[in-house]
Amino acid sequence: MQHFDPQQVISDVSQLRSRYGEPSERSLRKVLDHMSDHYAALVQASPFVLVASVGPEGVDVSPRGDAPGFVRIADPRTLMLPDRRGNNRADTLCNIVRDPRVSLLFLIPGVGETLRVIGRAQVVIDPQLCDSFAVQGKAPRSVIVVHIQEVYFQCQKALARSRLWAADSQVERGTLPSAGQILQAVVDDFDGEDYDAGYADYMRKTIY
């Protein structure tokens, strides 16, 4: 672990503000406690959201994706996310049942602005609600219900600097270690080549 001179490490908010200054009035006034029509349009267009949660073991950020609009706006102060099939680690769900605080970051392909939602969540297993999110005849085992406390959009700077949506920024998958290679390096007696060979078929069978 790298160590720094304590004099070069910011340790309180007043010190931070002396370096950065105060936030602009505009950046504060864009914060709402509910979904406006414009903010709702961003949620409905988004096929991808990052969900941050916190629990006794620490902080977790989990990616969630599906067809645009997969996050349902139940009312101006409530969002619903189906919990699709995964690896059963359930890190986000384990955190929520112990600490309801969550933060969501919505991304829309080709759009520079992102949308941030802060709130408190519940893990709901009501059969009718779960069935209402069924895809290909398969319902999620639970739905994350988020009660909104704050919602606001983020400007384009981060995505502009990263050039995330630029075609010439795309990375060739073959230039990086495969999932099988990564797993073989950390899991004993694991056949990474066999895993990679069957992964496309596995994805097809288990995506919902």
Give tens-digit pLDDT for 141-181: 999 999 999 999 999 999 999 999 999 999 999 999 999 99
Is the pTM value of this prediction over 0.85? yes
Average of per-residue pLDDT values in the chain: 96
User: What tokens were used for 193?
Assistant: 């080549």
All domains in the chain, ordered by first residue: 24-162 (2.30.110.10), 171-206 (no CATH)
Q: Determine the Cα–Cα distance for residues 32 and 40; give it in Å rounded to an integer.
A: 12
Question: Which residues fall within 8 angstroms of residue 156, CB to CB, at 6 or more apart?
Answer: 112, 113
User: What tokens were used for 116?
Assistant: 């941030």
Q: Which of 62, 66, 131 is nearest to 90 (CA)?
A: 62
In the sheet that holds 48-55, the strands lie side by side as 58-65, 48-55, 101-107, 114-124, 143-154, 78-82, 72-75
Q: What is the pLDDT at residue 100?
A: 98
Point out which residues pair with 154 in neighbouring strands.
114
Q: Determine the Cα–Cα distance for residues 60 and 58; give it in Å rounded to an integer.
A: 7
Beta strand residue intervals within the chain, DSSP E: 48-55, 58-65, 72-75, 78-82, 101-107, 114-124, 143-154
Number of neighbours of residue 121 by Cβ within 10 angstroms: 24
Q: Determine the Cα–Cα distance for residues 184 and 16; give it in Å rounded to an integer.
A: 44
pLDDT band, residue 53 (cuts 50/70/90): very high
